């Protein structure tokens, strides 16, 4: 009997060898990827190389040599497909899912905001608390300028009611304070730098709207209000700063969202980029669309969850309006419309305030209405537009001079109806127009509303595509435009200086 061979089969050798090669290769690939990610800022990595980063099972490309403005914009919510199509390849230095538990390595990768990857580098003055959180009643320890923001639950809250609608400076300040924190999950759109020479823009953290609302009345023996004194102090401070002198204030960002905020200082500080609700109470040489930014109001009604938004057939009210009816200036149209519409059976047109159950009633009424009126008041804009958006109630805008936030990115005609004031007051015109809108067309606008609602949400911590991130993008656009103008002016100026020097 012949002996059974103990030599391995020839077919087994190459298969085992290939398996080992594959395992070793995969291990080396993972190891090299981790190495590159951990040392991505070192000079030996080519700055033109794009790195593929995987966070929470989501991949996106990060460019270590990212240029600002045009080369990198923060991402929009995944539901906003229209904007995604308009802005392919938009980036942010973080992608996250707050509901998932993260490993320690992933947490570091998400939370650490790299200034070289931020869309905007911002220098913020360390103004005393009397200009910002002190107005909220916050008192830190001796020599403490800012509250601790690592825990959102411990951050000083902003007062509710109508105060809340003019609060962009509060949310922007919190976003900057948390930008270099390793404990707050936020998109790396704007990053606070400590050296003003490294900044794209200088942020002035003055809660001007709250100062107007709370400190405008003269107290006791005062000759001027605390609000006016703060503005005077602010002007003196800024005029003494090298940062202001260097640019004449053109690279400074000042928030004056309430139409009456900064009344005493606005002419002296009008060269800065102003963040406003509208241009209604500003002369064109101080505020205009080329230089300044329109920011949304913070809506006061509760947001309607997308899954719980009522469809066309479940909204019995055709048209909804509740608010102040008798206004001055452009708001006179409100009372004209009131007398035209108040007796229509499927229209709710009534006086209302935020007091008592006013906000709750408005939230309920808008959520059950197909269309919501946004009519000019004392100024061209009002909070009502953003209440309607939060309620997924198709806005009907009757304000001929209104300026809208983010209109360079959003096409409002996709989810709003615009009616000229002269047409709106013609008897029967407005209701005839609304009743001619088919269910299909209304549903298209409703679906679009649900996609873009996040762009008008202020929150802390901020999220990709929310109001805070959208505002920072607008600031980046303005800074880019201002830099473009400056460079054009310097074309011959520097050449002439060289000739004189020679």
Bridge partners of residue 203, in order along the sequence: 124, 253
Contact, 472 vs 192, CB < 8 A?
no
Task: Report residue 492's pLDDT band, with 50, 70 and 90 as the boundaries.
Answer: confident
Could you read off the pLDDT of 9-18 as tens digits, one per residue?
Answer: 444 446 666 6
| Domains in the chain: ranges and CATH | 32-115 (no CATH), 120-298+463-485 (no CATH), 306-456 (3.40.50.2000)
Residue of 317 and 40 predicted with greater confidence: 317
C-beta of residue 80 within 8 angstroms of C-beta of residue 409 = no
Q: pTM of whole model > 0.85?
A: no
Res. 481 pLDDT band, cuts 50 70 90: confident
Kindly report the average pLDDT of the chain as a whole number.
81
Nearest CA to 349 among 358, 339, 357, 359?
A: 339
The region of weakest confidence among 22-36, 47-61, 107-121, 401-415 is 47-61
Check whether 413 has a pLDDT greater than 90: yes
Q: What would the pLDDT profile of 358-377 be if each residue is shown by its tens digit?
A: 788 899 999 999 999 999 88
The per-residue DSSP string of 172-224 comes to HHHHHHTTT-SS-----SEEEES-GGG-SEEEE---HHHHHHHH-S--TT-SS
d(CA 202, CA 13): 67
Question: d(Cα 45, Cα 39) in Å, to the nearest integer?
Answer: 8
**Cα–Cα distance, 259 to 212 (Å, whole number):** 10
| Structure confidence at residue 265 as a pLDDT band (50, 70, 90) | very high
Residue 91 reports pLDDT greater than 60: no
Gap between the Cα atoms of 294 and 274, Å rounded: 8
The first and second tokens of residue 74, run together, are: 């923060």
Query: What is the pLDDT at residue 32?
Result: 61
* 321, pLDDT greater than 60: yes
Q: How confident is the model at residue 220 (pLDDT cuts 50, 70, 90)?
A: confident
For 311, 312, 314, 395, the CA distances from 317, given in Å and listed in that order, are 12, 10, 9, 14
Task: Answer with the residue of higher pLDDT: 133 or 71.
Answer: 133
Q: Which of 196-200, 219-223, 351-355, 478-482 has the lowest mean pLDDT?
A: 351-355
> Which pLDDT band holds residue 69 (cuts at 50, 70, 90)?
very low
Distance CA 131, CA 254 (A): 13
Query: Poorest-confidence range of 132-136, 157-161, 428-432?
Result: 157-161
Pairing of strands 58-62, 51-55: antiparallel
Closest CA to 304 of 358, 348, 368: 368
Q: What percent of the chain has pLDDT over 90?
A: 61
What pLDDT digit, counting tens, does each position of 151-206 carry?
Answer: 988 999 999 888 999 999 999 999 999 998 878 989 989 999 999 999 999 999 99
């Amino acid at each position: 009997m012949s002996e059974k061979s103990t030599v391995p089969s020839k077919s087994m050798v190459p298969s085992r060898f290939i398996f080992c090669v594959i395992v070793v290769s995969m291990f080396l690939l993972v190891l090299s990827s981790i190495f590159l990610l951990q040392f991505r800022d070192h000079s030996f990595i080519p700055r033109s190389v794009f790195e593929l980063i995987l966070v929470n099972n989501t991949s996106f490309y990060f460019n270590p040599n990212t240029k600002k403005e045009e080369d990198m914009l923060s991402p929009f919510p995944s539901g906003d497909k229209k904007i995604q199509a308009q802005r392919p390849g938009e980036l942010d230095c973080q992608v996250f899912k707050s509901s998932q538990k993260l490993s320690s390595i992933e947490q570091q990768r998400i939370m650490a905001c790299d200034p070289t990857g931020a869309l905007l580098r911002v220098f913020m003055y360390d103004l005393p608390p009397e200009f910002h959180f002190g107005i909220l009643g916050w008192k830190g320890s001796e020599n403490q300028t800012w509250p601790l923001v690592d825990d959102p639950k411990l951050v000083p809250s902003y007062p509710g009611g109508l105060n809340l609608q003019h609060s962009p400076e509060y949310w922007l300040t919190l976003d900057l304070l948390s930008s270099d924190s390793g404990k707050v999950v936020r998109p790396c759109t704007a990053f606070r730098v400590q050296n003003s020479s490294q900044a794209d823009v200088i942020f002035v953290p003055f809660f001007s709207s709250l100062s107007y609302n709370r400190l405008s009345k003269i107290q006791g023996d005062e000759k001027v209000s605390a609000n006016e004194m703060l503005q005077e102090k602010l002007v003196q401070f800024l005029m003494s700063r090298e940062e202001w002198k260097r640019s004449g204030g053109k690279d400074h960002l000042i928030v004056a969202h309430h139409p009456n905020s900064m009344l005493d200082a606005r002419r002296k500080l009008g060269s800065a980029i102003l963040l406003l609700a509208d241009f209604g109470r500003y002369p064109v040489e101080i505020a205009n669309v080329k230089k300044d930014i329109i920011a949304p109001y913070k809506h006061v009604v509760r947001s309607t969850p997308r899954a719980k938004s009522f469809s066309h057939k479940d909204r019995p009210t055709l048209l909804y309006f509740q608010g102040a009816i008798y206004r001055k200036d452009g708001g006179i149209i409100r009372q004209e419309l009131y007398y035209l519409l108040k007796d229509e059976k499927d229209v709710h047109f009534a006086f209302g305030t935020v007091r008592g159950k006013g906000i709750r009633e408005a939230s309920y009424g808008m959520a059950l209405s197909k269309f919501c009126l946004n009519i000019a008041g004392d100024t061209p804009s009002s909070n009502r537009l953003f209440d309607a958006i939060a309620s997924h109630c198709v806005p009907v805008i009757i304000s001929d001079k209104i300026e809208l936030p983010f209109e360079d990115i959003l096409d409002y005609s996709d989810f709003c109806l615009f009616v000229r004031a002269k047409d709106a007051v013609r008897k029967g015109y407005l209701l005839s127009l609304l009743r001619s809108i088919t269910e299909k067309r209304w549903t298209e606008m409703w679906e679009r509303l649900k996609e873009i609602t996040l762009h008008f949400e202020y929150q802390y911590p901020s999220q990709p595509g929310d109001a805070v991130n959208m505002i920072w993008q607008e600031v980046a656009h303005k800074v880019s435009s201002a830099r473009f103008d400056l460079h054009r002016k310097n074309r011959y100026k520097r050449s002439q200086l060289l000739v004189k020097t020679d």
